[in-house]
Each structure stands twice: as C-alpha cells, then as structure tokens.
Amino acid sequence: MPIYNANLIIRESRKAQGLTQEQLAEGICSRETIVKLEKGERKPNWFVFKEILTRLGLDPEIYQGDIASEGDITLLKRYQRFFNLMNTHKLDEAKAEIDTMEAEKNTPAGKLWQQGLGHELLLRMKASFYSAGALLDLPERYKYLDPALAIKYTLEYIKLTRPDFEIEKIPDYFLAMYEYQLLTILAKSYAMTDGADKAILMWYNIKATAMRAIGHLDESRECSKKVLLFNYLIDGHWGASFTASKKYYEDYTGEQLDLSVPW
C-alpha cells in the first residue's frame, strides 16, 4: 500500500488553487490545524484528510493508502536505508546508522527518534541488528551479535502496543507481519541464551497461530501438541504449567488434543 505525504499534498494543492489557509479550513478544522499540517508538524486523521481532499477537488479514493507527515517520511527513509544496509550485509555501516540516530536524539532534529513512530522504528532496527549475527553466514557474523540486547529491544517494542504480552497468549493475538518477524527474532535470541524453554514455546506457538489463521488446522494442532508435550516435560520449572497450558488450549479452541505419541 502506498504512503502519501499528506503535508505536501495539502500545501501544494491549496497554493495551486489559490486558496488561503482560512478558506481551506472553513467548516473542517481550524486555520492553526492547516498551518501545522502544512509544516509537517501534525499528521491528519483520515476523516479530516478526506474532507480537505474533497475541498481541494481531489479524489479521496486515490489516497486510500497510509498518510504520513513529512517527519514520518524522513523516518521511513532512514529506516529503509538501514535495512538496505542490513540486506547487503554492510553491518559496520548499519551500526553507524544506529549510532548516528542515537546521537541525534539529544538534538532538536532528533526529537523524531524520541517518541512515536521514530521511537518504534529505532527499537525495531536495534532488535534486528543485534540478532543479525544469528542469521548471516559471514565471517564477521558474531561481531555485533548480542542476544540479550535483541531480547531487550524486541520486548520494549512489543510492549508498546501489547503491554500485557505473554508468550502463552500468542495464539490470542492478531499478529501483523512485522510482529511475526519480531517474535521470530525474540525466539532466536532466547535460543542463544538461557531461555531455550521460551524459544521452543514461542516457535510452536507462532507456527500454530499462523497455521490456524490460514486454515491449516491439522498442522496447527500438531504444533500445539508439541507445545503441550514440552510443557508436560518441564512442568513446574521456569514457570511452566502443563495443566494451565492444556486448559488454555481447550478454552481457546473449544477442542481437546490427543496427546498420545507413536512411540
């Protein structure tokens, strides 16, 4: 889905039609709102944006993608540059990007990285970067690998939108693609620390949830079965409870699993 720079669209279309900011705002919002929108200091909600587009003679249906402020566009370009470096295995340059963003946080221009979208993107970049050594087949693969930091930044990000996040609740969540990616990072990072038990639970919970979401129920049940059997093996350790996990599955799906094994 395309991303539109709402501020640029509003500013240039208004000027092209010879409208003042007061004329554009009348009956829709305040002039101050238009000023902030055109300066890129605010991102309009869709309903306001739709009314403004209509007054400017533009078809709102064309702009049914994501709308962003100029600040958002700047952040997304930096975010894309970082992942281009990661995808081409330029880890030193990717690390330099993160260091630059951290240094910028204490400058007026760096306010974008301190909160909102900028803060979220920076956490995602850090989580990906510090787990990269586990994914890349390069001589320097372990140079920046730090599972503890990857876990830290991944959990910080996830808990921004899911404050009550728990591994056992993964089947309850409607996960976006980037959340699947972050949970995969988390599972890989746990597997490299003393959290191997969490890694196993996450792998199968993630897969079971994905399989159920696309209608592959038999595969989903098989993954859930492995989760429950693992809980049975470690019952009473690391906070694991076979009874609670089994009840959770039955309450969530409305069915019971055959936990017998072929051997």
pLDDT of residue 91: 87
Could you give the C-alpha distances from 30 to 27, 48, 52, 54, 67, in angstroms and in order? 8, 11, 12, 17, 20
Q: What torsion, rounded to 10 degrees, do the Cα atoms 42, 155, 124, 122 define?
A: 60
Residue closest to 29 by CA, chosen among 57, 49, 58, 9? 49
Q: What is the mean pLDDT of residues 228-252?
A: 71
Residues 173 and 210: their CA atoms lie apart, in Å, by 11
Claim: this prediction has a pTM higher than 0.85: no
CATH topology of domain 3-68: 434 Repressor (Amino-terminal Domain) (1.10.260)
The pLDDT tens digits for 22-71 are 999 998 889 998 998 888 777 777 778 888 888 988 887 777 656 666 77
8 A C-beta contact, residue 134 and residue 192: yes
Q: How far apart are CA 167 and CA 239, in angstroms?
A: 12
pLDDT 10s digits, 102-144: 888 888 767 778 877 788 889 999 998 998 755 555 555 567 8
Can you give the residue ranges of every domain in the chain? 3-68, 70-165, 171-263
Cα gap 197→185, rounded to integer Å? 15
Non-local (6+) Cβ contacts of 112 within 8 A are: 71, 74, 75, 118
With a cut of 90, say whether residue 96 has pLDDT above it. Answer: yes
Instruction: Kindly tell me if the per-residue pLDDT of 153 is higher than 90.
Output: yes
